[in-house]
Amino acid sequence: MKKVFILEDLDCAHCAGKIQEEVSKLDGVIACTVAFLTQKMTLDMEDSKVAQIVTAAKKIVKKIEPDVVVTEK
């Protein structure tokens, strides 16, 4: 299942790369891309693990960029 999230107020390209790297390591993530310019994170996940992955991904974003607001598109 693919989902797109808006990372509002993402202001660091390096941090976007760190978020992408960390989220990609989560169990059940098939692919993760974080586009700094458009402030979007696209997650391709196993259907059975969507809820856990989304929760964990949001925690990772907050850990790396505390001021970013994550909303589902």
Residues sharing a CB contact under 8 Å with residue 5, sequence separation 6 or more, in sequence order = 40, 41, 42, 43, 57, 70, 71, 72, 73
List for the chain the helix, strand, coil content (%; round to 5).
40, 35, 25
**What angle do helix axes 50-64 and 13-24 make, rounded to 10 degrees?**
150
Map out the domains of the chain with their CATH numbers: 2-72 (3.30.70.100)
Report pLDDT for 38.
96
pLDDT tens digits for range 14-60: 999 999 999 999 999 999 999 999 999 999 999 999 999 999 999 99
The pLDDT, as a whole number, for residue 70 is: 97
CB 39 within 8 A of CB 10: yes
